[in-house]
Amino acid sequence: MLTLNEYFIKACDRLPEEAIRVMSSLEGKGSMNKEGLSLTAKVKRAVLDHIVMQLYALGFVEIETEGKSKICSLTPLGNNFLELIKAG
């Protein structure tokens, strides 16, 4: 049986390296649309869509629709994940 910390560490090993940049951008700048997130995290838009869906599936990112835009934000679980990863 894995602890939550062990689960987070294994999840980090399976995520692309850009995922941490995306989550850090959301943590630092707050909620933003995918265009802004792509620029802030320095991740190509085609790659960003894939990463955001992985983070959404893990419960680390929330996606809301506002008109034609998709607004991404970090969930409390995503914040906990980032804290653990940054702590090493």
Check residues 12 and 62 and name the one with the higher pLDDT. Answer: 62
Q: Both tokens of residue 1?
A: 């049986």
Residue 11 has what pLDDT? 79
* 6 confidence band (pLDDT: 50, 70, 90): confident
Per-residue pLDDT for 9 more than 90?
Answer: no
Domain at 72, CATH number: 1.10.10.10
Task: Give 12's contacts (C-beta < 8 A, 6+ positions apart).
Answer: 20, 81, 85
Closest CA to 31 of 87, 73, 88: 73
- In the chain, the number of structural domains is 1
Q: Average pLDDT for residues 33-55, to the nearest whole number? A: 94
The 3-state DSSP class for residue 31 equals: coil
Residue 65 has what pLDDT? 92
φ, ψ at 31 (rounded to 5°): -60, 140
Q: Which structural domain range is residue 36 located in?
A: 4-87
